[in-house]
Structure 1
Amino acid sequence: MRVTVDDALTLREPGAGPVSAPPSGYTVEVTPYGTRVEGPGGGRLLLASPDAPADGPAPSPRPDPQDAGGWTAEAASAPGTPAHQVDVAIVDVGASPAAIGALRRAGVAATTTAVLAVGGDHRVHSPAEFDRRARLWGASAPFDGQEQWCPPSAWPPERAHGPHRVLVTGGARSGKSAEAETRLLGEPEVTYLATGPRPGGGEDDGDEGDRAWARRVALHRARRPSWWKTEESPDAAAALREARGAVLFDCVGTWLAGAMESCGLWQEPPPSGAEDELAARVDELVEAWRRCPAYLVAVTNEVGSGVVPATASGGLFRDWLGRVNQLLAAESEEVVLAAAGRVVELR
């Protein structure tokens, strides 16, 4: 990727110096966050690195010995200081959309920083989808030949902030978890609330179902940014009451399955009063969802389109999950349906 600045200098790639010596009035620094340019008017631009660090002070960068002639490779100032922030950050979201969240967490991208999302390719099925994702991250998706100003001439696009609730529903392997994770990649502080059972030991432990669950959990962990905090708890209501920043609640179906087990509703017949106990837990969850101050994205299962459950307890699970989905949707600013990796907004 190459970026031309003011028709005066060209940047080769993030973390490298310019193609040639910058003209008078321009300063180029190679930092751990990417290549930073300051122009004669004081505008500060960053061509972001896809592996920009999210935490801690910036380590000293390694200058390219083949580069010379006026650009510098000093370490940037400490994260969070005005000199460390930039006016415009260009991020190759095809390589790493999580770099946006990393820059915000490190203090390089502030609320006034215009983030430009570039790098759309075959991995995103249409320009409209690329633009949708950019807006979720509070970024702009400039078109070819569009002129951009640094500092920006307009306020950066607004992105969701808490309190804001999004319910993502869909069938098995519909892409609902990936959609929920995608929505939060631009956030500097994310808690992943896992309500399912903890996976067992290694691949050789337990039965095939346990091993499959362990592989699924490991896959989810591997694709999440390293700075996301994971909280494993069956008490989702308590976690939501304490939530701050952004939260990914994955998922409502596993929470309900655990709540039903605690209430004895997987037994046939269930004990007396079990459904009343479950109803109280559902009410508690919905109340916490309503009052949660965070930017909250929850994943749930769309079970109404599947096969009719063969057992009475399976039928209870389907019916209760349908009720819970409706209750949470009624308290949500957004509800979206994932199907075959595509997303439809349910207005």
Structure 2
Amino acid sequence: MSLSSPDAPVPNLVPDGYSVAQTPYGLRVDGADGGRLLYARPDAPAEPPEGVDPGDPRPPHRADLVLVDVVESPETIGALRRAGVVGLTTAVVAVGGDHRVHSPAEFARRARLWGALAPSDGQELRCPPSAWPPSRPHGPYRVLVTGGARSGKSAEAERRLLGEPEVLYLATGPAPDPEEDRSWARRVAEHRARRPSWWRTVETPDAASVLAEADGAVLFDCVGTWLARAMEDCGMWAEQAPADAEERLAARVDALVAAWRASGAYVVAVTNEVGSGVVPPTASGGLFRDWLGRLNQLLAAESEEVVLATAGRVVPLP
């Protein structure tokens, strides 16, 4: 059966024992053997239909194999997991690779992040699937994404969590004030617009407490803004810093690293890559560089993965 889109008209010629129907989640094919295949809509809702028993191990809208155009709308995978269409035994198949993803290897990498299969052309897939889909990270699991300004680090961190049904966005920067800083307000608005609507946002500098209590998935954005606020709270930006300023900051850094180490969540944190041979022109800039460099190393030492984003590409750091 060839379908051009999940909104395509239901074909008139359906083999005996099969049924095809449009659903809020996309075009669904029920097979003669009981298998269920779904060609997902890019705007699939993130909630289950009314009347579905949350305790049902195989609810009537659960699919065995789901096709998702992950270039058009990768967050659809997270929406379908949240809605219960995709369960533990559902195979998610990533389709739609084109020039918007720079290589087949990158397409396959993204699919793995979301627990999806990236089959080759002509590969035969069975429904229900005979091969278990690749597993995606689950907590406790920590990923540190580092990179320079406008390197694509935040986009990579967000991309990694698009397949998750529950995501807590931990924003450590100050609340935007369009009157005082239009550039910052615009950047915050751009980040919000990119995130799926069901992600929760917590704006707080107390990252350690959030990490200690969190489960599911957390996006921590970002370590640099957290450190800048912590340094300000400890008086390190003042002309005459308190005598115990560095001691107080060190205690906060230790608490953050301890919470990062002990967190039971799947956490992806964004940080800034500083230095790279450039000496900051001010004493405060040098102080921030030194502390952030130390903190990045401490977090990296406690991470399952560390990746460097540069020019929109992602390089794993073994």
Q: Indicate the TM-score class for this superposition, using the shorter chain for normalisation.
A: over 0.9
Q: 2:212 aligns with which of 241, 245, 258?
A: 241
Counterparts of 1:20-59 in structure 2, within 5 Å, are: 20-57=12-49
Structure 1: runs of 5 or more not aligned? 5-9, 59-76
C-alpha contact (below 8 Å) 1:15/1:33 kept by paired residues: no
Amino acid at match of 1:125: H
Structure possessing the higher radius of gyration over alpha carbons: 1
Counterparts of 1:1-347 in structure 2, within 5 Å, are: 4=1, 10-57=2-49, 78=52, 80=54, 81=56, 82=58, 83-200=60-177, 202=178, 205-206=179-180, 210-305=181-276, 307-347=278-318
- CA RMSD, Structure 1 to Structure 2 (Å): 1.3
Compute the TM-score of the two structures, normalised by the length of structure 1.
0.88
* 1:270 CA drift (Å): 1.5
1:267-326 per-residue CA deviation (whole Å, 9 max, x = no partner) reads 133211100000000000000000100000000000021632122111110000000000
The one of the two structures with greater contact order (alpha-carbon pairs below 8 A, sep at least 6) is 2
* 1:138 CA drift (Å): 0.3
1:95-130 per-residue CA deviation (whole Å, 9 max, x = no partner) reads 100000000000000011000000011110000000
Q: Match of 1:72?
A: none
* 1:79 CA drift (Å): 7.2
C-alpha contact (below 8 Å) 2:114/2:160 kept by paired residues: yes
CA separation in 2, counterparts of 1:198 and 1:307?
30
C-alpha contact (below 8 Å) 1:79/1:108 kept by paired residues: no
CA separation in 2, counterparts of 1:94 and 1:79?
32
Structure 2: runs of 5 or more not aligned? none
Runs of 4 or more above 6 Å deviation: none
Amino acid at match of 1:318: R
C-alpha contact (below 8 Å) 2:65/2:93 kept by paired residues: yes
C-alpha contact (below 8 Å) 1:12/1:19 kept by paired residues: no
CA separation in 2, counterparts of 1:275 and 1:141?
49
C-alpha contact (below 8 Å) 1:237/1:288 kept by paired residues: yes
C-alpha contact (below 8 Å) 2:48/2:84 kept by paired residues: no
Report the secondary structure of 2:211's partner residue: helix
C-alpha contact (below 8 Å) 1:57/1:79 kept by paired residues: no
C-alpha contact (below 8 Å) 1:247/1:294 kept by paired residues: yes
* 1:56 CA drift (Å): 4.8
Structure 2 CA distance for partners of 1:42 and 1:107, relative to 1, 3 Å:
same
C-alpha contact (below 8 Å) 2:10/2:21 kept by paired residues: no
C-alpha contact (below 8 Å) 2:279/2:286 kept by paired residues: yes
CA separation in 2, counterparts of 1:156 and 1:127?
18
Report the secondary structure of 2:43's partner residue: coil
CA separation in 2, counterparts of 1:269 and 1:120?
56
CA separation in 2, counterparts of 1:161 and 1:338?
22
Amino acid at match of 1:185: L
Using the aligned pairs only, state the percent identity.
72
CA separation in 2, counterparts of 1:215 and 1:264?
28
1:226-274 per-residue CA deviation (whole Å, 9 max, x = no partner) reads 1000010000001111111100000000000000000001113321110
Amino acid at match of 1:193: L
C-alpha contact (below 8 Å) 2:67/2:94 kept by paired residues: yes
Amino acid at match of 1:115: V
Amino acid at match of 2:52: A
1:76-111 per-residue CA deviation (whole Å, 9 max, x = no partner) reads x73754222110000001110000000000000001
Compute the TM-score of the two structures, normalised by the length of structure 2.
0.96
* 1:27 CA drift (Å): 1.0
C-alpha contact (below 8 Å) 2:208/2:256 kept by paired residues: yes
CA separation in 1, counterparts of 2:24 and 2:254?
47
* 1:142 CA drift (Å): 1.0
